[in-house]
Each structure stands twice: as structure tokens, then as C-alpha cells.
Amino acid sequence: MEESPSPKNFGTWAGGMEQSLIVHDLPAILERWKIFKLARCAASNQLFDIMETPLIPSVISNCSTENYPEKGYRTPEKDRGSGMHPTRRTILSGYTNESTKNIAGETSIVTSFSELNIEEPPRTSIPSSSGEALTAFAQLLMVCRQSAPATLADVFSAYCKLDSIVKLGEGTYGEAYRAGSTVCKVVPFDGDSLVNGETQKKSEEVLEEALLCLTLNNLRTDQGDKGKDHSCDGFIETKDFWVCKGPYDPSLISAWEDWDSKHESENDHPKDFSNDQHYIIFVQADGGRDLEKFALLDYNEARSLLLQVTASLAVAESACEFEHRDLHWGNILLARDEMSNKDHTMSITLQGKRIRARTFGLTISIIDFTLSRINTGNAILFLDLSEDPDLFKGPKGDKQVFR
């Protein structure tokens, strides 16, 4: 799995057995997250200017009162900040005084954590229903349905034997490993040390990427209302999330070194992570092999690839204004079903119209939403790409630079 920016090395993914999907209460998670964003703004500036969009009334999350886009625009003005990598920006909607009152009465993933005793964090926190303050890290634990971080060994042992872990690929912000029939993307965050020359992601950034994955999960044909207006299976299925803490496990170090001996890793050796290091694990379906290494057999497979990618993007754009913003050939996975007696077709629903098409045995999965933009219905999540000019640089003549 390749994490942005720009492809480096990609591993081979093979199809595996399906596992049951963990159902998350997305509306409740988004409501808790919105209150957090509101409190963060309220602590630092005046009340917010309201910006009406064609879909939702919103407020700017960075609390700036200048350079707002005119009415009718869905994407906010660029906020040029500082940092080693882009900061995820958001536009929030639906704030009322009642929103903080109603949160206490929710019968959802939120209330199951009401007994947590969380220490007082900085001013960028919100009060919970039981009075203690909740940081973005605490909310991330809620999404993962954990009361405390686990160890890497505990998580991976739930999916496979530790000595069977295989590294599949790497990116700027993390590593991908096969664990049984799943792929686990391990991303360090909230640490002070640089990782592969980059500042580590913060809890808030990781939380928002998790929200984006959950939103795309809701487009799957086996999720939610069967009569929904938009559905497709072209985005990788995220099965679960885990927060972990501690040094890199020896089993993962062994898998990392095996991969390094064959492919010469460009990443820092993970043995240097401290006992206090936090990680987020995205547990995802095994989508196959990336397009860079996948050999298409004929014209039928080529047109199936193009059809599935464009149809999936069309559904996500229509449903939630989704923009991938990093769709190089390392972020498209393919798997081939060679059983000739199967009905090789795909089905999508676009603006209420159901469409079926032949796939010729090929299945695609779009991955890596680090740079993506999406409207969850409650908020617009996106990265200000102008903050990292290196994203737009690459080897001369590289056809994958502009995407």
C-alpha cells in the first residue's frame, strides 16, 4: 500500500477470505467530532461567519474571518499554514446550542465510553457528557471502541500468527502488512520524532482520515439501505481501526527487514520507535495487486479497469463530492477471478439509477485517501495541498506527476 506523496515501492497483494465488517455509528462519531471542532474555534477567536453552500450551511474550522469564499462555493479558500506536511482543513455544519446537550442522550458508540476517566487536556478539547474533557486522541479511541491503546502484537495476533506477517509495501507515513486475509496499514502519530523525514501525523488528522474511510464504507452495496441512491464497491473496504502504543513488535521488525533485504526500503528502520509511540492501524480488505505491477491480459480487462474506476469515482463524487487527489497507479489494486463459470458483473447505483456491467473477472479497489476531499454530510474534509509544494514535483518526464 502506498501512502502519499508520490509512489515509491509497491508490494503484491493476493486475494483472501472475507472477514465480518465492524459496524461503526458514523452519525454519532461525526457529532462528537463536530463539537470538538467547535470548541477548538471558540477557544481562539470571535464567533464564526456562516457560509451557505448549495448543500449545507457551514463554518470555517480555522476560525479565520478573512478571505472566505463567496456563496455557492463548496471548497473553502486556501489557508496557507506552516508545517512539514499539509494540514487537513474542514468545513463544519449544523452547530446549535442544542448539539452539545443532545450528545449526552445518544445511545451509540459515544455513550459506551461515558465512564472513561480522561485527564484534562489543552484548550483544544471538549467537555464530554460526564464532565471530563475529551481530546482528539480520546475521540479516536472511541472510533476504535477502545478504552486504552493496545499493543501491536495484540492487534496482529487477532488476525494471524505473528510469524506469518508479511510486509507488502511502504509509504511516507507508514507501512502495510498482510495479516491473514486482511491488510493492516500501520501509521505512527503524535510522536515528536520525524518519520522518514516528515513530521508525524496528529490525532486530529488520523481521526478525520478514519471518518473519511467510514463515509466511503457507507457507499458499499452491502451497507445501509438497499434502496439508496448511490452505491459502489470500488473503494477498499475498511474493516476496523486500532490505536496501539509501544515499540515496534519484533514480528513486524522481522517482516520489515525481510522486505528491506529484497526491495531496499526507503523508510527509516522501525526499531527506533520508543515505548511511548502511538500508532493507528487501518485494517482493510486485501484488494489484490497494484496496477503498476499488475499485467492486464487483454482489451476486455483494460476496459473493465477504466469502467470500474470511473464509475466508482462518479458515484462517490455525486454522493459526497469526493475527490481522490492522488490517483496514481500505485493506488489502484486489482484482483482477477479466473473461474470461468461465475457471473462476472459489477453493479453500481448512480443518482438512483442501477447500472450493471461485465467485469471479465477483474475487480478493482481504490486505496489511500490521505490527500482526499469529501463531504460527509456533516463536514467537508480536505487537505490544503498548497502547503506542500513537493507534492507537485517529481522526476522529469514522469507521467504520474500530474494527476
Block residue for cell numbers 479497469: 305
- The count of C-alpha atoms lying within 13 angstroms of the C-alpha of 79, restricted to the half-sphere facing its C-beta, is 21
Q: Name residues whose C-beta falls within 8 Å of residue 122's C-beta, 6 or more positions apart in sequence.
A: 135
C-alpha triplet 329, 332, 336: angle, nearest 5°: 115
Bridge partners (DSSP) listed for residue 281: 186, 242
Q: Name residues whose C-beta falls within 8 Å of residue 383's C-beta, 6 or more positions apart in sequence.
A: 86, 87, 88, 89, 325, 370, 371, 372, 373
Q: What is the CA radius of gyration of the chain?
A: 21
| Terminal Cα-to-Cα distance of the chain (whole angstroms) | 18
**232: its cell numbers:** 459502489
Q: Beta strand 182-189 with 238-245: parallel, antiparallel or unpaired?
A: unpaired
Q: Where are the alpha helices (DSSP H) in 264-351?
A: 299-320
The answer to whether residue 326 is catalytic is yes
**217: its cell numbers:** 464504507
3-state DSSP assignment of residue 50: strand
Q: Would you give the DSSP letter of residue 373?
A: B
Cα dihedral sign, 58-280-319-324? positive
C-beta separation of 168 from 137 below 8 A: no
- Catalytic pick among 326, 337, 368, 398: 326
Q: Beta strand 379-383 with 374-375: parallel, antiparallel or unpaired?
A: antiparallel
Q: Which positions are annotated as active-site residues?
A: 326
